[in-house]
Amino acid sequence: MPHFETNHVVNHSAEQMFDLIADVERYPEFLPLCEGLSVRSRKERDGKVLLLADMTVGYKAIRETFTTQVLLNGAERMIDVKYIEGPFKYLDNVWRFEAVNQGQSIVHFCIDYEFKSRILGALMGSMFDRAFGMFSEAFEKRADVIYGS
């Protein structure tokens, strides 16, 4: 049951980081391993947005697509990702964005997952662990490009 968690201080506001990470369609432009992402549906209610999205990840010759439900809660500066279908037994992912001071925030990222196949887990597992470590850096670099460093 792999688990990865990080709390990273960035030089951008919590609102900016929420908006950047909520813009899931842009992930293939900058996120490691993400080869494609499409939003199947988008519903808005009570200030929250619920997405159903397909993400394709790849490493060398291996490609996998999985579907998640993504709840964007701007008022609470939180993104909650629930697994729907694909190569995992389960996948739970939560982002939280905490204001530190003007222009700085802490990005909290937590993910728990397990592959259905032990073989796929052995092939992709260690690479996923490294990729999650690179995610914070990739999002921060993207924020620097969009919002300035």
Residue pLDDT, tens place only, 88-133: 999 999 999 999 988 899 999 999 988 888 877 776 666 767 777 7
* Domains in the chain: ranges and CATH: 3-147 (3.30.530.20)
pLDDT higher than 90, residue 70: yes
Cβ partners under 8 Å of residue 35, min gap 6:
28, 56, 57, 58, 63
pLDDT for residue 1: 65
Span 63-80, average pLDDT: 96
pLDDT higher than 80, residue 63: yes
Give the whole-number percent of the chain exceeding pLDDT 90.
69
pTM for this prediction? 0.90
What digits encode the pLDDT tens for the residues 14-33?
999 999 999 999 999 999 88
pLDDT for residue 136: 80
pLDDT higher than 70, residue 73: yes
pLDDT for residue 90: 93
pLDDT for residue 125: 65
CB atoms within 10 A of CB 16: 17
